[in-house]
Structures are given as C-alpha cells and as structure tokens.
Amino acid sequence: MAPTAQSRQRAARALREILRGKLLRALCEPARTELLEFLTVNGRSDIATIAAAFPQDRSVISRHLALLYEAGVLRRDKIGRQVFFEMDGPVVVEQLEKILDRFRTIVPLCCPSTPT
C-alpha cells in the first residue's frame, strides 16, 4: 500500500521530533563530539583537565558538558568543588535504540521499500 499524504505528514512530524531531540542536537556539534572522544580516551575527568585539552574557554567547555549531561550522554559527579564527567554508554545506546525503533515505525508511513 502506498503512503498517503496524511501518513507522510505524520512521518514528517515524527522525524522532526527525533531530529530536534536533545540527543541528536547534542551530538551534532563538532566541539561536543571532540569532548566525547576525549572522554572516551581519557575516561572520567574533571572540568579543569578537560578544559586544559581544548582551545575554547573553560566556560564554553562547561556549557558543552552541561548540554551533553542534559541530553543523557554524560554522567556527572561532584566531589567538593570538583565536577567529574564520563560517558554514560549504556544510556546512549538505549537512547539510540529508541530512536531506531521510532525510525522503524516512520519508514512504512513515508518511504516503504521497493521490491528488488
């Protein structure tokens, strides 16, 4: 059955929600992906250590880390005055699986496969 105009509109709305979601917005900025690479290589690190590895001001790095934390990509642990960050791999995988599941429901509404 061919997708209808109405089903394509529903698919477009669902896709917009996915693409504008916190996770993908957080991951689409090159500076934030570099931060994730840093944390992947170095593991749990405090803001001072992270900021020292990047050319941006510490306040900019701190905002990027906060956004990644809010998106569920990082765990944050405050000990005294120090704040430590690390990747939260299982949560990221879970979020990506949910996105993939949503895409699976959208595809039949807008762009079904064609027989080969």
- Report the DSSP beta bridge partners of residue 84: 46, 77
Quote the pTM value. Answer: 0.84
User: Which of the two residues, 23 and 7, has the higher pLDDT score?
Assistant: 23
Give the pLDDT band (50/70/90) at residue 109: confident
Can you give the pLDDT at residue 22? 93
Structural element, H or E, at residue 16: helix 5-19
pLDDT in tens, 83-98: 999 999 999 999 999 9
**CATH top-level class for 7-105?**
mainly alpha
Could you tell me what percent of the chain has a pLDDT over 70?
A: 96
Q: How far is CA 114 from the centre of its chain?
A: 31
